[in-house]
Amino acid sequence: MRRIISILLENEPGALSRVIGLFSQRGYNIETLNVAPTEDLTLSRLTLTTTGDDKTMEQITKQLNKLVDVVKLVDLSEGAHIERDLMLIKVRASGTMRDEIKRTTDIFRGQIVDVGPNTYTIQLTGTGEKLDSFVAAMAEADILEVVRSGVAGISRGEKVLRL
């Protein structure tokens, strides 16, 4: 089963490598990974998605919690949550495809953030699934480059991950 794990991590050199190292060392897989500083300069917020059966997931969360640099951890997929992935996608846009791409982008509520004589760069946010279907919808177009941020997530309602 797919899980979204969100972590408050000490903003220390080497902290990230401990998290990543844990996954490779113990044979767990990471599908997406997103890390950035938070409003508290001493902490980074890390969101990762992974898959595994319940037993593996239990070990993953326990092992992560055991890392001294992991301050707090939550499995967002256990409750109601919002997840967002950001995609920048550059496509060949010439001839009739130019309009076609524009239409599809509008349907997905994406934005064209850079326009070249023969290319469009489109920005799209949403769940991983939505981004996947956009890429599928672009099958006819000539996709030049795809960049995704990986999932960032947050719980709905009153629930917060903080110190």
Partner 1 sequence: MELLSGGEMIAKALEDEGVEYIFGYPGGAVLHIYDALFKTCKVPHVLVRHEQAATHAADGYARATGKPGVVLVTSGPGATNAITGIATAYMDSIPMVVLSGQVATHLIGEDAFQETDMVGISRPIVKHSFMVRHAEDIPATIKKAFHIATTGRPGPVVIDIPKDCTRPDAKFEYHYPDNVKLRSYAPAQRGHTGQIRKAAKLLLSAKRPVIYAGGGVILGESSELLTTLARTLNYPVTNTLMGLGAYPATDRQFLGMLGMHGFYEANMAMHHSDVILAVGARFDDRVTNTVSRFCPGAKIIHIDIDPTSISKTVAADIPIVGPVQSVLEDLLDIIGSLQDKDAQQPDTGALGRWWQQIEEWRAKHGLWTGRRYGESDRIMPQQVIESLYRVTGGDAYVTSDVGQHQMFAAQYYKFDKPRRWINSGGLGTMGFGLPAAMGVKLAFPDMDVACVTGEGSIQMNIQELSTCKQYSTPIKIINLRNNYLGMVKQWQDMQYEGRYAMSTYEDSLPDFIKLVESYGHVGIQVTRLEELDQRMEEAFAMKDRLVFLDIFIDPMEHVYPMHVAPNGAMKDMWLSKNERT
Q: Give the number of residues in contact with partner 1, rule: CB under 8 A.
A: 20
The answer to whether 18 contacts partner 1 (rule: CB under 8 A) is yes
CB of 163 to partner 1, least distance (A): 7
132 is a site residue for partner 1 (CB under 8 A): no
Q: Is 68 among the residues that bind partner 1 (CB under 8 A)? A: yes
Half-sphere exposure of 117 (CA within 13 A, CB side): 0
Q: Which stretch binds partner 1 (CB under 8 A): 54-62, 80-88, 106-114, 123-131?
A: 54-62
**Which residue stretch of 17-25, 83-91, 114-122, 140-148 sits at the interface with partner 1 (rule: CB under 8 A)?**
17-25
* CA 66/CA 21 separation, integer angstroms: 13
Contact 87, 123 (CB under 8 A): yes
Residue 95 binds to partner 1 (criterion: CB under 8 A): no
Interatomic CA distance for residues 10 and 140, integer angstroms = 45
Nearer to partner 1, 73 or 131 (CB): 73
Q: What is the residue-wise DSSP string for 108-147?
A: TT-EEEEE-SSEEEEEEEE-HHHHHHHHHHTTTSEEEEEE
Position 62 contacts partner 1 (CB under 8 A): yes
Query: What single-letter DSSP state applies at residue 149?
Result: -
Residue 70: Cβ within 10 Å count: 20
Which chain residues interact with partner 1 by CB under 8 A?
10, 13-14, 17-18, 21, 25, 55, 58-59, 62-63, 65-66, 68-72, 163
